[in-house]
Each structure stands twice: as C-alpha cells, then as structure tokens.
Amino acid sequence: MKDAPVISCLMVALPAASRLERLKRSVADYARQTWANRELVIVLNGGEPACAAAIRAHVATLRRDDIRVVEPAGDLPLGALRNISRAEAAGDLICQWDDDDLYHPERLARQAQALLGVAAEAVCLEQVMQFFPAEGALYCDNFRGGREGCFPGSILAWRAAPITYPEAGEFARLGEDTAIVLEMRERGGLKTLGDQPHLYVYVSHGANSWDEAHHRAVPHWHAQSAALVRRREAQLREGLAPFAFGPGPITVHGRNEPAFTLVEATGA
C-alpha cells in the first residue's frame, strides 16, 4: 500500500445545521477507509456561516493532515464546485465523496483495485444500497440496465482523465456527475464494478439535492426483486455489518415487498 496511488476524495457541501451530523458521519467513513494513501478535500460554498465554522472546527479536532477545507467565494453551481474540488486534488485518483451518504471501509480499495491495470478512465458501481432513514428501509438498486450503466455518484477516476463538470445549463446544478459518466461511457472510458452494493449506501433523507419524487422513483425502477434479495441475504448481511443504521427496525426490501429484517425492533 505504501507505493499505491493517492486517492483524493472530493466532498462538496452546503454548510447547513440540518446537514452537519450527516457530514460528520461521511467524514468518519472516510477516516476508516482501508486504503492508506488518501486525502479528503471538503469544498464549502453558501449556506450558514456558523455551520461552516462548525465544520472547520470539527475538522480541526480530528488532527489529520489529510483532510482540508476549501471555501471558494460566490454562489457557485454544483458543477463549478466539483471542478474546484478536482483542481484542489493532490492525488493520482479522484473519488466523489458526497456529504450525506454512507461508505463501506473497503470502498476506496475495491474500486481502486478494479481500476488499476485496466485501460479505463474511471470505475463506477453498478449496484448500491439505498436507505430511507425515516422508514428504516433499505433497497438494493441495480443501475446496470440504465443509460449510465452504473450509479454516477460512485465515480472514482484518474485525475488525468479529461473530466470537466458542466458549469452552465441543465446539468450545472443537478445531474452533473451523470453528464460526466455519459461522456466517459460514450468514449469507452468507463469501467463498472458489479455485485458489491454494500460499498455505497445512498441515503434518501428528505433534504437531498434531488427531490423526494426522484428518490422514490429510484427503487421503483432499479430495486431488485424480493426473491433475489433473499437469495443474497447472507452476502448482504456480511457487507452491511460495518454500518450503524440506527436502533431499528431496519428492513431490506425488494422492489415488490420486504425481503428480510436486518435489525430487529428494540423493546421499550
């Protein structure tokens, strides 16, 4: 691992008190990654000055020289902020690291190993878990058959890849990662990694950038059937073991019905 490429994890965050605990959890997931050569670049823009100060203070308490905060001026669209984070990266590889999702400790290692040694610009996950905290519901979403062929938010790419996020137009504020993935797929630069949904938990908490209708549509179109989820129960339980989803109950659902209970309800 000493001579392995450095991975720059790139987080773009809106400083808001309602989002602070999720950001801290995302930073904690970065800190427990098994890939040793890494850094986390946190780009803050807009939002609440008091919360931005709280984020800086939290990072300072961690006493890590591999985590730094960047605060560009102005009210910038998400695409522009992604480009700033990429410009700030010092690593050989860059990895999108959203501030409100959950990550398995081996996420960086598994994706980097899938990319190294192949002729590709980037690797994305074909499957991810989707979590609705208010309901304690998990889904296994498969994007392989979609136009992107993967979950765009899971991108890990060579920093030298010709990636420029849109800073104007319909994809500048939402769907900026989708635009990049589609470009890479068109030119044959995208590799996908299948059958490891536990590496990334997409959290639908109700205050995401995409609206509630979008998040509800994802499992409707992409969730695996309950029968398939049940066949994969042992694999999913093992993969999800590092996550603390809450006191329960937590249920893993198929597209059509609940499949199995991951965490039982606790008594009063």
Tell me the pLDDT tens digit for each residue of 100-138: 999 999 999 999 999 998 999 999 999 999 999 999 999
Check whether 229 has a pLDDT greater than 70.
yes
Confidence of residue 264 (pLDDT cuts 50, 70, 90): confident
SS3 87: helix
- Residue 4 half-sphere exposure toward CB, CA atoms < 13 A: 15
Q: How far apart are CA 70 and CA 85, in angstroms?
A: 8
Is 2 part of a structural domain of the chain?
Answer: no
pLDDT of 246 reads: 81
- Please give the residue that has the higher pLDDT: either 175 or 209: 175
Is residue 201 situated within a structural domain? yes
Number of structural domains, the chain?
1
Going through the chain in order, the beta strands assigned E by DSSP cover 7-13, 38-44, 67-70, 93-96, 102-103, 122-125, 127-132, 137-142, 156-158, 190-193, 200-203, 250-253, 258-263
User: CB within 8 A of 247, min separation 6: which ones?
Assistant: 263, 266
- Residue range(s) defining the domain that contains residue 182: 7-263
Quote the DSSP letter at residue 116: T
Q: pLDDT of 52-100, one tens digit each? A: 999 999 999 999 999 999 999 999 999 999 999 999 999 999 999 999 9
Residue 92 to residue 2: CA distance in whole angstroms: 14
On whether residue 249 sits in a domain, the answer given is yes
Taking the whole predicted model, whether its pTM rises above 0.85 is answered as yes
Closest CA to 41 of 58, 63, 54, 59: 59
Determine, yes or no, domain membership for 248. yes
| CATH code for position 104 | 3.90.550.10
In a domain, 227, yes or no: yes
Q: Does residue 262 have a pLDDT over 60? A: yes
Report the candidate in 149, 111, 139 with the shortest Cα–Cα distance to residue 251: 139
Give kind and range of the element (H or E) at residue 31: helix 20-31
* Of the listed ranges 67-76, 149-158, 185-194, 217-226, the one predicted with least confidence: 217-226
pLDDT of residue 268: 46
Predicted pLDDT at 51: 98
- Within a domain: residue 30? yes
User: Is the confidence at residue 153, as pLDDT, over 60?
Assistant: yes
Mean of all residue pLDDT scores within the chain: 93
Nearest Cα residue to 242 out of 37, 92, 28: 28
Tell which residue, 62, 71, 191, 35, has the closest CA to residue 124. Answer: 191
Select the more confidently predicted residue: 22 or 209.
22
Considering the domain boundaries, does residue 1 fall inside one?
A: no
Task: Give me the pLDDT at residue 54, please.
Answer: 98
Decide if 268 is inside a domain.
no
Helix axes 176-186, 78-88, angle to 10 degrees: 70
pLDDT the model gives residue 174 = 79
Share of the chain above pLDDT 90, in %: 85
Residue 267 has pLDDT above 60, yes or no: no
